[in-house]
Amino acid sequence: MSTKTEIEVEAPVAAGSGSERPPDPCSLVIFGASGDLTHRKLIPALYSLEYRGLLPENFAVVGVARTESSTEAWREKMREAVTEFGRDPMDKDVWERLASGMHYVTTDFSSEGGESDVMKLLERLDKERGTKGNRVYYLAVPPTAIRTVVDKIGERPRAKGWVRLIVEKPFGRDCASAKAMNEDIVTHFAENEIFRIDHYLGKETVQNVLAFRFANGIFEPIWNRRYIDNVQITVAESIGIEDRASFYESAGAVRDVVQNHLLQLLAITAMEPPADFEADAVRNEKVKVVRAIAPPDPAYVVRGQYGPGEIDGKKVPGYREEPGVAAESSTETYVALKVFVDNWRWAGTPFYLRTGKHLSSRSTTIVALFRPAPHPPFLEIAGEGLRPNVLVIHIQPNEGISIRIGAKVPGQGMTIQPVHLNFEYDRVFHVQLPEAYEKLILDAMLGDATLFTRIDEVEAQWAFVDSIVAQWKNAKPDFPNYAAGSKGPKSADALMARDNRVWCL
Ligand code: BG6
Quick check: 34 and 42 in contact, CB under 8 A? no
- Distance of CA 20 from the midpoint of ligand 1 (Å): 29
* pLDDT band at 2; cut points 50, 70, 90: very low
- Distance of CA 132 from the midpoint of ligand 1 (Å): 35
Strand partners, 41: none
Strand partners, 394: 365, 400
Ligand 1, atom 8: closest residue by C-alpha:
256
Q: Residue 11: is its pLDDT beyond 50?
A: no
Tell me which residues have their CB closer than 6 angstroms to ligand 1.
Answer: 169, 237, 256
Superfamily of domain 201-497: Dihydrodipicolinate Reductase; domain 2 (3.30.360.10)
Length of the chain, in residues: 505
The amino acid occupying position 95 is: W
Q: State which ligand 1 atom lies nearest to the alpha carbon of 256.
A: 6
* pLDDT band at 65; cut points 50, 70, 90: very high
Query: Lowest-pLDDT range, 242-246, 379-383, 432-436?
Result: 379-383
**CATH architecture designation of domain 26-168:** 3-Layer(aba) Sandwich (3.40)
Quick check: 44 and 82 in contact, CB under 8 A? yes
The amino acid occupying position 404 is: R
CA atoms within 13 A on the CB side of 341: 25
Average pLDDT of the residues of the chain: 93
- Distance of CA 198 from the midpoint of ligand 1 (Å): 10
Mean pLDDT of 432-451: 96
Residue 340 — φ and ψ, nearest 5°?
Answer: -120, 140
Quick: pLDDT tens for 295-349: 999 999 999 999 999 999 999 999 999 999 999 999 999 999 999 999 999 999 9
Q: Ligand 1, from 87, 237, 358, 363: best to mutate by most atoms within 8 Å of Cβ?
A: 237
Q: Residue 378: is its pLDDT beyond 50?
A: yes
Q: Residue 288: is its pLDDT beyond 90?
A: yes
* pLDDT band at 376; cut points 50, 70, 90: confident
Q: Helix or strand or coil: residue 322? A: coil
Instruction: Answer yes or no: 261 catalytic.
Output: yes
Ligand 1, atom 9: closest residue by C-alpha:
257
* pLDDT band at 385; cut points 50, 70, 90: low
CATH 3.30.360.10 intervals, the chain? 201-497
Ligand 1, atom 2: closest residue by C-alpha:
256
Q: Ligand 1, from 261, 265, 438: best to mutate by most atoms within 8 Å of Cβ?
A: 261
Q: What is the pLDDT of residue 20?
A: 64
Q: Which of 103, 261, 358, 394 is catalytic?
A: 261
pTM score, whole prediction: 0.94
Quick: pLDDT tens for 149-166: 999 999 998 889 999 999
Ligand 1, atom 4: closest residue by C-alpha:
257
Cβ contacts of 75 within 8 Å, gap of 6 or more: 99, 102, 104
Ligand 1, atom 5: closest residue by C-alpha:
256
- Distance of CA 311 from the midpoint of ligand 1 (Å): 18
Quick: pLDDT tens for 169-221: 999 999 999 999 999 999 999 999 999 999 999 999 999 999 999 999 999 99
CATH 3.40.50.720 intervals, the chain? 26-168
